[in-house]
Structure 1
Amino acid sequence: MKAHPEGARDGGPSVAASHLHRLVRLAAWITTGAVAIATVAAGLPAGSAAAAATVALTVAGLALWCLALVRRGAPVPVLTAAMAGTGLAGAALDALRPPGPGIVMICMAMAGLGFGLPRRPGLAAAAVILVAAGWAEARGSANPVGAVLGVAAAAGFMYLAAAFAAVSRDAHSHSQALLEQEAATRAAREEAAVLGERGRLARELHDVLAHTLSGLAVQLEGARLLAERTGADPRLAEQVTNAQRLARDGMVNAKRAVAALRGEALPGPAQLPALIEQTRLSGLPVTLAVAGEPRPLPSESGLAVYRAVQEALTNAAKHAGRGAAVAVALTWADGTLTAQVTDSGGDRVVPGLPSGGYGLAGLAERAALAGGRLDAGPTADGWQVTLTMPIPTTPIPAAPDPARAHTQEAHS
């Protein structure tokens, strides 16, 4: 029989329709078994030819019916021929042995035609079966008209009941498809609204913060040159240089935030070597050690690792003082990634630079939201930050191409 369209989502009406379809198929198989048992119980007619014909018709009719059940996705002409063959075999069986199960096979065929086939081929095959069934019933009946009307009423009722069930099934499938389409449309509209708001925030962030930091960096460069030309205190020039470095870092981070709002690639462990190299250029010695085999992380987990290392390096540059060194260690274990940043040495003189703003507390919250944990505290001769993030066992979808983010960042 024809397979009805299945819902795209699990649960709800789709599951109910699937259960109903399985129940219909189960009832069809039970009916098949009942017909076979009834044929055996009724016994064979007298005469070897009649007995052989009864067995052959029963086997042929049930075989065609089983073919239609198994090959529900077969072309309509094949299913029509199988159903019509079942009905005609039932009519012939009814002519050979009127008390036998032939009428049941006729009703089975009519139900299959009404439920599983389009209207035109179903009606044509049903008309052929009705003519054959009426001839078989009238052939050995004392009241041919009553016999024909009786078999026509029974077979016609089965066809109409199955046809109404098919209409209800198709209407249910259509309404389910419309509901799913409406839900998809609503989700697309909500996503478009979110993307629009993120785009607006990205533009505001770019136009206000990035431009402001860019102007600040230019002003600080002018202040540094002026301090050098006028012979000002070298400590003043150093403070201006540090402030200029923070302004440049702020511009880079602002551009990365804009890229994240635009749905581009988020920084993660793969970008840590570039971050460490940038930190080295600012004058802070940093080493990086990686143990284990790197594996994909969810974007939020990767971003938490990157931000934690970035914040720890910034704090070390601001607070560790002269002579400090930093060691960054990434350890990829079976189910976790551990990022550890340890600074040692230095005079621990705070140069009076402003705080980064986000802080380790905010990073700890970010890590907790992604299922990780961040610990920070003093060591014997410095400070240590340790972030532990879980590595999911399910594959992570491929991230967007970072080249696209870098290209847009360069043009912004």
Structure 2
Amino acid sequence: MGGWTQWPSRQALSREGVPRTRLLINGGIWLGLTGWLLVDALRSDAFQGWGRVALIGALVGCAALVEVLRRVTLDHRLAPALVLIAVLIAAGAALHAAGARTPSAAVWVVSAIVAMERLPLVIALGCAAVASGAYVLASGNSPLAEAATAGALVIGGYALRLDEEARGTGYRLLEQERMARRAEAESAALAERSRIAREIHDVLAHSLSAQLVHLEAARLLIERGEDSAKVLDRVVAARGMARDGLAETRQALSALRGEMAPVEDFLRESAAAEGARFVREGEPRTLTAEAGLTLRRVVQEALTNVRKHAPGARVELRLGYAEHTVSLEVRDGGARSAPAAAGLTVSGAGYGLLGMRERAELLGGTLEAGPEGEGFVVRLRVPL
């Protein structure tokens, strides 16, 4: 029963989404009908002088009422719409009583069609029945023919209703799609900003904190009157941290733009720089910028940890390509010499395995790290 008592949607009742050509055609039809009625009124001998002026005024008034009816139905206002329909039907009866049979028939026909087109269906059927019934009774023709005419009016109005509801549904779906695309674009922009912020933070947080450590140490050495060589060592270390941080920032930005060298080349270079062994398994696959950057960061962090906690250890980097994932394993065989002093180990990427694990999980991957045998192993797996 809900469909019988519901209004057509606002999109169906409005002109939103109606092609310009369709609007011009509809306007032409209404102007043509109004012009025909006016010409018929001017040719009629039943109206002369002021009577003709009154007839023309009545027709213009009915046209204005139809436009007002369109506006109140657009806002789903039932009471004013019923009043306007009643006024139009009464105006048709008055015109018929005055002898303007063609204009009265036109007013009743338009009332029936507009009611079927724009009112809740159960109400529209009643209004259309009254308007078309008045038309049938006033015509005085064959009841069967007039009944067929009245049925045609109802069906025609209902066909217009279906057409406009289909258009309104299409327009509503199009608007929903546009909103979804805007929301998707905004979400992608936010994700991209978060990604960039995370990369810059990962690089700069370590670099700046390391510089602060060395500069603070230099300040304390100066206050104590220590040897200038020690102060210079701290300043040089801080400068090196600044240089490394700048290089890391440039690498991060280049990776976000997709301008960095392939991941495999980067891993080979990193392994060669550390005297580590590099092994690739599987056929190389194309990686997303985020996945490639994650592999770079994990390698940097793992190699940094080896330098800090297992200096001199044999290291192996293993890159594996599977059908839907890429894996990385960094394994060391245990320290061959004592770890460096704590105050001098603040170097390298330094992003922390916890941060790397969070980064992997954001991509839907996993990171595992822990002792294995005499050494330590870091395993990363991310989807392609």
TM-score, length of structure 1 as denominator length: 0.46
Highest RCO, 1 vs 2 (Cα 8 Å, sep ≥ 6): 2
TM-score, length of structure 2 as denominator length: 0.49
